[in-house]
Amino acid sequence: MLTVTTQGYERKGYAMSTDDRLSLVLFSGTDDKLQAAAVLTVGAAAMARPVDVFLQYWALDAFRADRILKDHGVSPEAGPEGERAMRDQGKTHWSDLFRQAKDLGEVRIQACADSMEMFHITTDDLDPMVDGVWGVASFFMEADGPVTFI
Amino acid sequence: MLTVTTQGYERKGYAMSTDDRLSLVLFSGTDDKLQAAAVLTVGAAAMARPVDVFLQYWALDAFRADRILKDHGVSPEAGPEGERAMRDQGKTHWSDLFRQAKDLGEVRIQACADSMEMFHITTDDLDPMVDGVWGVASFFMEADGPVTFI
Amino acid sequence: MLTVTTQGYERKGYAMSTDDRLSLVLFSGTDDKLQAAAVLTVGAAAMARPVDVFLQYWALDAFRADRILKDHGVSPEAGPEGERAMRDQGKTHWSDLFRQAKDLGEVRIQACADSMEMFHITTDDLDPMVDGVWGVASFFMEADGPVTFI
């Protein structure tokens, strides 16, 4: 009861509530950016900030069940030396970090309907951690605050 | 005590004001990112959120009147398969989506003065949907809230 | 009149809240994006907005003391023509712009602990303008508002 009341209060205030929501439009599908996005998502979830991840284009492609663990390359600027440093660090894979974030807090991962259509895929093709499919309108219904594009 | 009261006031004031403005710094000039940016702009405009698009670097270059419809390439990570999927989808071109967004809501598209100088171009060289030229100071006068960088 | 009053109220409330902090996750390490990030940082600092810059991955690599002035390349989409236009403009180097921003306002530049580990470097390897090292948790303790990813 207390929780409900508090939540209602925060919502109404907006500033006290949704502004701390992290709305990530995840566009890039290289392992370095996905790793950075996953770390930010875990960090935000650990701070009790709700996170919405909206998967578009090459990021959505990377969340396909049959490719999620494959090598998605890195940004061209990494260079061979940078890529080696990244691979050698042996951090938890970004897909596991996103799963941890979902266990940790209020984290939703949604696929962009347009991008689904582009790749001719259905939710069956995606990793189970993806919660569903949103159109851009749904995204903006939920993400009524700041947007971070990665 | 006073501080607490003041903060409550500020917080409330915040929620009602600029935060729903989407301030997009549009830096990238590839067709995939421009398409993603255009879809977000239309979506935000449809939700009655004001949008400021600030065109810099390669995005500004893509808004030149004589090149806006040409092939601007895609992010390297797309790969040939991804690029083909994107081109085959046959969605409305990003330039038309930006025009639709302007018809739909409060959407301003401004060219960055520094980038104009870099390319040695004037407003006559830009597509008419570009509303004007802003320095970075003007951008921050208008975009006093969150910034989304694409 | 009512509108003006309302706007004044909103503006004032907004401006004083935490949300005007610009929290930049600086991931990219090419000279064009670093230049864009530096210009935004100076602009925000000039508008009295506090700025936190969190250096990750290739951006952190670019802030190494012994490489900060070297050629870090540009985004692939620039093309030879774009890169030439950028280099020929002869603007203040991004590293000097970040220093100016620090002189001008409340600007902190922090290195990401994970990325430090990835490159096997210590703060001695970084340009002195970097204020320290933050974990992602520290970043989210400070950056409790919107996040801009570059």
CATH fold, domain A20-149, is Hypothetical Protein Ychn; Chain: A, (3.40.1260)
Q: Which strand (E) or helix (H) includes residue B51?
A: strand B51-55
Residues A103-143 pLDDT 10s: 999 999 999 999 999 999 999 999 999 999 999 999 999 98
Among A4, A3, A107, smallest CA distance to A47 is for A107
Q: What is the pLDDT of residue A4?
A: 26
Q: Is C47 a residue whose pLDDT tops 50? A: yes
| pLDDT tens for each residue of B5-49 | 223 333 333 333 445 999 999 999 999 999 999 999 999 999 999
CA dihedral A97, C23, A21, B47 (to 10 degrees): -120
Pick the CATH number of C33-149 from 1.20.950.20, 3.30.470.10, 2.40.50.140, 3.40.1260.10: 3.40.1260.10
| Domain locations along chain A | 20-149
Residues 6+ apart with CB under 8 A from B8: none
Binary contact (A47, C145; C-beta < 8 A)? no
pLDDT in tens, B47-73: 999 999 999 999 999 999 999 999 999
Specify the pLDDT at position A2. 26
Nearest-angstrom CA–CA distance, B110 and B88: 30
Domain B24-149, CATH homologous superfamily name and number: DsrEFH-like (3.40.1260.10)
Half-sphere exposure of C5 (CA within 13 A, CB side): 2
pLDDT at B98: 98
Is B14's CB within 8 Å of C12's CB? no
Give the pLDDT confidence of B75-123 residue by residue, as tens digits: 999 999 999 999 999 889 999 999 999 999 999 999 999 999 999 999 9
Query: Where does the pLDDT of residue B144 fall: very low under 50, low under 70, confident under 90, or very high at 90 and above?
Result: confident
Q: Which residues of B touch A64 (CB under 8 A)?
A: none
Q: How far apart are alpha carbons C150 and C145 in whole angstroms?
A: 16
pLDDT for the residue numbered B19: 59
> What pairing do the DSSP bridges indicate for beta strands A147-149 and A132-134?
unpaired
**pTM for the model:** 0.88
Residue of A14, A25, A136 lying closest to B15 (CB–CB)? A14
Distance in Å, alpha carbon of A55 to nearest chain C alpha carbon: 16
User: What is the arithmetic mean of pLDDT over C20-25?
Assistant: 95
Q: What residues of chain A score a pLDDT lower than 70?
A: 1-19
Backbone angles phi, psi at A112, to 5 degrees: -75, 125
d(CA C64, CA A34): 24
Contacts of C143 in chain A (CB under 8 A): none
